[in-house]
Structure 1
Amino acid sequence: MEAPKFPTRPPAARFFSFPVKNPSSAHKPHSRSLWLSIASSVVFVVLVYLAAASRSPPPPLRFGIIIDAGSSGTRIHVFGSKGESGAIPSLVPGSTAVMRVTPGLSSFSGDPERAGASLEDLLEFAKGKVAKDRWRETEVRLMATAGLRMVDMGPRERILESCRRVLRLSGFRFKNEWATVIPGSDEGTYAWVAANYALGSLGGDPEKTTGIMELGGASAQVTFVSSETLPSEFSRMLTFGKTTYNLYSNSFLHFGQNAAHESLRKLLYSRDIKTSDVSRQEGTLVDPCSPKGYSHGGNFSECRSTALSLLQKEKDNCLYQLCHLGSTFIPKMQGNFIATENFFYTSKFFGLSPTSSLSEMMHAGEEYCEQDWSKTKKKYHSADEEDLSRYCFSAAYIVALLHDSFGFPLDDKRIEYTNQVGDVEIEWALGAYLVQSMTKSSENADWVTAMIHGDLVLLLLVASALLVLTAWLVSKWRRPRMKTIYDLEKGHYIITRAS
């Protein structure tokens, strides 16, 4: 009997010529094609995205509303601006508007519930300046200043709550904490921002910025970049772009023009200030700060001396190495300054140029104080007599404040009296809007937004890598694992799925 015949192993040459010497080799052409397709798609997506980003439309116009609740009236400011998130906004010509009503919120201290109604006309004005479909995204903030700061806490809070009720129903975006009384130092800081924005120096070299001095009705503010080490209560660190500014900012409550004039008259009545020409004559008040023939006044020098006594009244309480104004610390006045509000109005009344020296202000005040009241009324026949009676004090008070207290030389030309630079009104409300806009952009930017604005290409590369990795994992998961075996029955090698 013959022995059984077993299949013989094919020659080695034939084995190595077999088309699947490596089980995975059958998939290589398909794999290369897959990866080339994925890579091409990624590159295409990146290029399309970059092209679309470069041609994307400019950011839409943004609106904001600031209500300046001052001592003598309330103003509503509507601002429209454009600009990239995180950048200093750029005001759009024709998109800003302002409206004022009187009296101020502080006048409602006796009837706080009526305060909110005083805002209704202002809000209707704003609605006419902002498209209706933008109301809900337009923030409205009420910021009260010195007038309300002097009101007692109880009535002050009831006034604010009355205003909040109206603002919540205004149709604009509003939160309760957006109606508040701001510190005087914030008011000065915002005014500094507005001035340097108008001058084009915001975000630039600190030494090339301009300080600002405001003379309001109830308070005065001074803000400027200082190289000195400042007490913490007067120091404000402000950052725009890559530049940080060390600001001295201070508000002098009760030293505004109207408040100071009222304080002076009270002192005259009480005889707390005694000078050679200040006394009672037959029951009539002799006021050196009135024009000649009005309250028996007309003495500029005496008025200046009286104003200085008022400004330095608290000097004995100074807790610092040197106090230039009462008990308040003021560093050396560095750089150039813009003087706004009543500084500007007084300069304009006397016909002085914006860069007039304090010596010119003094001479104009002397001439006005010593001019007979009847001639003054005839010369300014269309002006209110009460307003006319105060310009003698205004000039003397400015000289006493800027020269005798702050230390500006009489011939100094560093001060410009103006409320406007170019087409931009220099008001603290503008500075508040700019600061709030940039703060909002910073708070709303998440990490994705930050990456997009910081390094768009890096973000796209990371996303592309994730896409390729995902595709590779999917292809590995779906590809069957194969193996090559020798089939004894068929007498040749076959390729089959691995278990």
Structure 2
Amino acid sequence: MMDEKSEKQIKHLFDQRNFTRRRESMESNVKTFCSKNILAILGFSSIIAVIALLAVGLTQNKALPENVKYGIVLDAGSSHTSLYIYKWPAEKENDTGVVHQVEECRVKGPGISKYVQKVNEIGIYLTDCMERAREVIPRSQHQETPVYLGATAGMRLLRMESEELADRVLDVVERSLSNYPFDFQGARIITGQEEGAYGWITINYLLGKFSQVASNEILRDPCFHPGYKKVVNVSDLYKTPCTKRFEMTLPFQQFEIQGIGNYQQCHQSVLELFNTSYCPYSQCAFNGIFLPPLHGDFGAFSAFYFVMKFLNLTSEKVSQEKVTEMMKKFCSQPWEEIKTSYAGVKEKYLSEYCFSGTYILSLLLQGYHFTADSWEHIHFIGKIQGSDAGWTLGYMLNLTNMIPAEQPLSTPLSHSTYVFLMVLFSLVLVTVAIIGLLIFHKPSYFWKDMV
């Protein structure tokens, strides 16, 4: 039999053993609890870090909205009206809109001056192109898009005939354009000098840099092709303000033009239009107009370009002598041959290219004193970087200077803040990953100092 002391020792051993088991069980429960909570915290932290990285990255690198402005210019010419839509960054460059043409719409019908007796049709006349502008320009930009109408030769002539009629046409045009959701800025008749100056602006911006009537009824005209014939009413000669002062009484009401196609005679007839007998300055072009020394490059656009383009004379490699020879050859071609070669061109325009080309050459050589050497500095230009070379873009550039520049759009965060946040959240992810690996692969090392 055990004595009392032995029983106590055995009981003590059992108690110690039970305590150890309970302690180990408690430690295991604590480790399990802590592991689950730490893993949950680490998982949550990882998710937050990933979301933060994605949010910062996407916010910083998302495409900024296109901060642009639009403008509309209507070129109301003598034969037709064209609508041009321009676009430029709202921030501008050197306080001038960096404008480029995005759309051109030719209004169906003649020029607005021809509507003087039917002004009630002007609104319908402009509808198609103005509706096209609605489609091209975003709706949100409509109210802040300026609209300008500049009337040229046709309206200048109408105003010379009757200022009241010209104002009547412009008033109806203004009322019609004011009905659209754009910021209409008015309609005006621009002078010939303005038209030329705005064209000069356009080109430099985009580059970054007639015959005497005989006392019978036949007029033999050297500026028309051989075989060309046309019956003309005498009264038609004096319908315009430019010719009205030369009106005379003739013994016939009609006469027939017969072309003879002689470039040299045509050239001499054209030169009679240029008065070079008087010059109050050191050097003049013609009609007493001062002509500075020819220097640099010159852009010939609008009618200069279209005529010379038709004649295939716009190449800078074609010398002045070659251009003159080609004009002589073209003018001497029979009218029937010309009609066959250019079947798709209206006869009214086709018949006038000999005169137009001769006039341009005479103006440039004898009017503006270009020589064979300086001819190479003339560039016949139709479009530059997708925009038409003409006065309308220069007009827009001049007028956009009155529109204040806007502050450029910037990214949401500065570069340094963006880099700091990206690094911070990346470190959080790396730390979480390391701790997670330690817990799963070396639990004893992680828990040895926790109990």
Report the TM-score when normalising by structure 1: 0.58
Distance 1:321 1:101, change over 3 A: farther
User: Structure 1 82/360 Cα, relative in aligned 2: closer, same or farther at 3 Å?
Assistant: same
Native 8 Å contact 2:99 2:397 kept in 1: no
**SS of structure 2 residue aligned to 1:90:** coil
Q: Which residue of 2 aligns with 1:275?
A: none
Say yes or no: does 1:191 pair with 2:199: yes
Query: In structure 2, do the counterparts of structure 1 residues 340 and 378 end up closer, same or farther at CA, with 3 Å as the change threshold?
Result: same
Distance apart, 1:393 and its partner CA: 0.7
**Map of 1:310 onto structure 2:** 273
Answer yes or no: is 1:71 the counterpart of 2:44.
Answer: no
Deviations 1:306-334 (A, max 9, x none): 0110233xx56755554322233332232
| Structure-1 residue corresponding to 2:320 | 358
Which residue is equivalent to 2:342? 380
User: Relative to 1, partners in 2 of residues 1:441 and 1:268: Cα closer, same or farther, differing over 3 Å?
Assistant: farther
Confirm or deny that 1:428 pairs with 2:391.
yes
Shift of residue 424, structure 1, vs aligned partner = 2.7
Cα-to-partner distance string for 1:142-180 (whole Å, 9 max, x where unaligned): 1111221111311111111000111111111124xx211
Matched, 1:291 2:225: yes
Q: 1:99 aligns with which of 98, 102, 106?
A: 106
Greater per-residue strand proportion = 1
Amino acid at match of 1:367: K
| Distance 1:296-1:186 versus aligned 2 partners, 3 A rule | closer
> What residue is the counterpart of 1:475 in the other structure?
none
Q: What secondary structure is seen at the aligned counterpart in 1 of 2:404? A: helix
In structure 2, relative to structure 1, the CA distance for the partners of 1:116 and 1:426 (3 Å cut) is same
Aligned mate of 1:148, from 143, 155, 161:
155
CA 397–124 in structure 1, closer or farther in 2 if over 3 Å, else same = same
More divergent stretch after superposition (407-416 vs 109-118): 109-118
Mapped to 2, the partners of 1:428 and 1:296 lie a distance apart of 34
Instruction: Give me the whole-angstrom Cα distance separating, in 1, the residues matched to 2:118 and 2:280.
Output: 39
Quote the Cα distance in structure 2 between the aligned partners of 1:166 and 1:113.
10
Q: Does structure 1 residue 138 correspond to structure 2 residue 145?
A: yes
Q: Is the 8 A contact 2:195 2:391 kept in 1?
A: yes
Q: How does 1:455-474 map to 2 (within 5 A)?
A: none
**Separation of aligned partners in 2, 1:338 and 1:102:** 30
Instruction: Establish whether residue 162 from structure 1 lines up as the match of residue 172 from structure 2.
Output: yes
Distance 1:114 1:332, change over 3 A: farther
Q: Does the CA contact (< 8 Å) of 1:160 and 1:180 recur in 2?
A: yes
How large is the Cα RMSD of the aligned pairs?
Answer: 3.0
Distance 1:438 1:96, change over 3 A: farther
One-letter identity of the residue aligned with 1:169: N
Partner residue, 2:298 = 337
Matched letter for residue 343 of structure 1: F
Tell me whether 1:398 sits opposite 2:360 in the alignment. yes
Match of 1:268 among 212, 215, 221: 212
Instruction: Give yes or no for contact 2:82–2:104 (8 Å, CA) kept in 1.
Output: no
Residue aligning to 2:190: 182
State which of 118, 129, 142 in structure 1 corresponds to 2:125: 118
Corresponding residue number in structure 1 for 2:254? none
What is the rounded CA distance, in whole Å, between the counterparts of 2:66 and 2:342 in structure 1? 51
Structure 1: distance between partners of 2:304 and 2:176: 34
How big is the shift at 1:419? 0.9
1:26-85: CA deviations, max 9, x gaps?
A: xxxxxxxxxxxxxxxxxxxxxxxxxx9999956611111111111111111111211415
Find 2:380's aligned residue among 408, 417, 423. Answer: 417
Tell me the SS of whatever aligns to 1:191.
helix
Deviation at residue 297 of structure 1 after TM alignment: 1.6
Residues 112 and 325 of structure 1, relative CA distance in 2, 3 Å threshold: farther
2:95 is matched with 87
Residues 87-144 of structure 1: CA deviation (Å, up to 9, x unaligned): 3323468x44433433111212344454444222221121111122221111111111
Aligned-partner residue type, residue 431 of structure 1:
G
In structure 1, distance between residues paired with 2:106 and 2:308: 24
Q: Which residue of 2 aligns with 1:346?
A: 307
Q: Does the 8 A contact of 2:122 with 2:176 survive in 1?
A: no
Local SS of the residue matching 1:351: coil
Asked if structure 2 preserves the Cα contact closer than 8 Å seen for 1:82 and 1:92, the reply is no
> For the residues of structure 2 that align with 1:185 and 1:395, how far apart are their CA atoms?
22
Q: What is the TM-score with the length of structure 2 in the denominator?
A: 0.64
Q: Letter of the aligned partner of 2:84 in structure 1?
A: H
Q: Is the 8 A contact 2:262 2:332 kept in 1?
A: yes
Per-residue Cα deviation, 1:398-431 (whole angstroms, up to 9, x for no partner): 1110001100013520111121123232121111
Number of corresponding residues: 317
**Residues 75, 101 of structure 1: 8 Å contact kept:** no
Preserved contact between residue 107 and residue 128 of structure 2 (Cα < 8 Å): no
Query: Would the alpha carbon gap of residues 361 and 115 (structure 1) be closer, same or farther in structure 2, given more than 3 Å must change?
Result: farther
Local SS of the residue matching 2:329: helix
Identity %: 29
Whole-angstrom CA distance in 2 between matches of 1:107 and 1:321: 43
Q: Secondary structure at the match of 2:86?
A: strand
Structure 2's unaligned 5+ residue stretches are: 1-58, 229-257, 408-451
SS at match of 1:187: helix
Letter paired with 1:420 = K
Structure 1 runs not aligned, ≥5 long: 1-51, 202-263, 270-278, 450-499
Which residue pairs with 1:246 in the alignment?
none
Q: Quick one: higher RCO (CA 8 Å, sep 6+), 1 or 2?
A: 2
Moved more, 389-398 or 181-190: 181-190
Structure 2: distance between partners of 1:113 and 1:419: 35
Distance 1:399 1:435 in 2: 31
Bigger helix share: 2
* Residue 96 to residue 441, structure 1, CA distance change in 2 (3 Å): farther
User: Which sits farther off after the overlay, 157-166 or 354-363?
Assistant: 354-363
